[in-house]
């Protein structure tokens, strides 16, 4: 009987460079211990790697071939059984290693609670970063389930490094009253998905970029920011989401100023395969636009 899928190498497609030679370094953060609904994001890094082998190296949109980008795959961090605090610290160490070597970090989650670890990895320079997040959830809770490093607190933790005024969250359509009030009090900028539907992603991007001023930008993509029609395989899906083309527009607008990227919350047990494919494609679009 034929196997259902070809076997591919265990690294991200075309990540053939050594760490020392690489411009881009990808790594997996397979952590889903603080998940609040559906578990399984720990399987995402390998599914995204696998999916990437189905994508042509030549990008017809940008005209660039990914073979001209030097990418290294560090593999997965050994964090799946650790406490949230320990896992975030492991992410920080990995990110610091990549960033201090002058390379561009790309993390595959895992859950969104790992993102503050990368921001922490910028050390003193974190203060000069503006974070753009695409997410269905504002993730601005002080804590959740008695845990500060819960995935529902990701932007709150990032705000402690960069300041709440240096964050823009696009595409939200879920948050509790308390965190929405905290966000307003702290001048956290956000545009919900209903606003974006009415006014266009271009307007939201222009506002976010204006707020960023001259800061470098870190882009974190919680895949649930995209509508479940395009990205069904995620832990906490929310209807009325962004279009996948909205994400391309964000990438195109900010790529020249990007210092890092992560793609979080893909949940393979609830996927039909398309969400991992979309994630892999988005990673390659980011590499292509940052390189270009
Ligand atoms: Mn989310």
Q: Is residue 1 part of a domain?
A: no
Q: How far is the CA of 222 from the centre of ligand 1 (A)?
A: 5
Cα of 49 from ligand 1 centre, angstroms:
21
How many A from CA of 228 to the centre of ligand 1? 12
- Please tell me the distance between residue 2's alpha carbon and the centre of ligand 1 in angstroms: 37
Q: What's the mean pLDDT in 165-176?
A: 97
Tell me the CA–centroid distance for residue 109 and ligand 1, in Å. 12
Q: Is residue 13 part of a domain?
A: no
Eight-class DSSP state of 68: G
Which structural domain range is residue 88 located in? Answer: 24-291
Q: Averaged over 73-78, what is the pLDDT? A: 98
- For residue 67, being part of any structural domain is answered with yes
Of 105, 109, 106, 96, residue with least CA distance to 43: 109
Q: Which of 31-35, 190-194, 234-238, 275-279 has the lowest mean pLDDT?
A: 31-35
Give a yes or no: residue 161 inside a domain. yes
Average pLDDT, integer, range 79-90: 96
Q: Report if residue 6 sits inside a domain.
A: no
Q: Which pairing describes strands 71-76 and 104-109: parallel, antiparallel, or unpaired?
A: unpaired
- Tell me, in angstroms, the distance from the centre of ligand 1 to residue 65's CA: 31
* Cα-to-centroid distance, 19 and ligand 1 (Å): 31
Q: Using 50, 70 and 90 to split pLDDT, how confident is the model at 6?
A: confident
Domain-located, residue 72 = yes
Total domains present in the chain: 1
pLDDT for the residue 1: 59
Q: Is residue 2 part of a domain?
A: no
pTM of the model: 0.97
The rounded distance, in Å, linking the Cα atoms of 95 and 237 is 28
The rounded Å distance from CA 224 to ligand 1 centre is 5
- Residue 133 Cα to ligand 1 middle (Å): 10
Q: Report yes or no on 252 lying in a domain.
A: yes
C-alpha 131 to ligand 1 mean position (Å) = 15
DSSP 106-175: EEEES-GGGHHHHHHTTGGGGGGEEEEEE-SB----S-BTTBTTSGGGHHHHHHHHH-GGGEEEEEE-B-
User: Residue 242 belongs to a domain with what CATH number?
Assistant: 3.40.800.10
Q: What is the residue whose two structure tokens read 């196997």?
A: 3
pLDDT digit string, tens, across residues 242-283: 999 999 999 999 999 999 999 999 999 999 999 999 999 999
């Amino acid at each position: 009987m034929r196997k259902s899928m070809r076997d591919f190498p265990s690294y991200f497609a075309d990540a053939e460079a050594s760490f020392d030679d690489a411009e881009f370094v990808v790594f997996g953060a397979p952590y889903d211990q603080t998940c609040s609904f559906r578990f399984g994001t720990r399987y995402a890094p390998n599914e995204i790697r696998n999916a990437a082998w189905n994508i042509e190296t030549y990008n017809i949109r940008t005209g660039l071939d990914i073979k001209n980008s030097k990418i290294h795959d560090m593999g997965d961090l050994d964090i799946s059984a650790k406490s949230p605090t320990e896992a975030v610290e492991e992410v920080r160490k990995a990110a610091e290693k990549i960033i201090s070597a002058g390379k561009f970090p790309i993390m595959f989650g895992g859950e969104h609670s790992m993102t503050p670890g990368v921001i922490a990895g910028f050390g003193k320079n974190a203060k000069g970063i503006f974070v753009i997040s695409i997410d269905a959830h504002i993730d601005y809770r002080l804590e959740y389930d008695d845990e500060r490093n819960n995935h529902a607190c990701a932007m709150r933790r990032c705000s402690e490094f960069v300041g709440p005024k240096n964050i823009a969250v696009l595409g939200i359509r879920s948050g509790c009253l308390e965190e929405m009030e905290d966000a307003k009090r702290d001048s956290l900028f956000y545009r919900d998905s209903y606003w974006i539907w009415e006014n266009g992603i271009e307007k939201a991007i222009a506002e976010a970029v204006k707020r960023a001023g001259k800061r470098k930008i870190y882009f974190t993509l919680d895949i649930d920011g995209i509508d479940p029609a395009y990205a069904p395989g995620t832990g906490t899906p929310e209807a009325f989401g962004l279009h996948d083309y909205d994400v391309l527009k964000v990438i195109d607008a900010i790529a020249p100023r990007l210092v890092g990227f992560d793609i979080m919350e893909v949940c393979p047990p609830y996927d039909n395969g398309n969400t991992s494919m979309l994630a892999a494609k988005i990673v390659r679009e980011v590499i292509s636009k940052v390189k270009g």
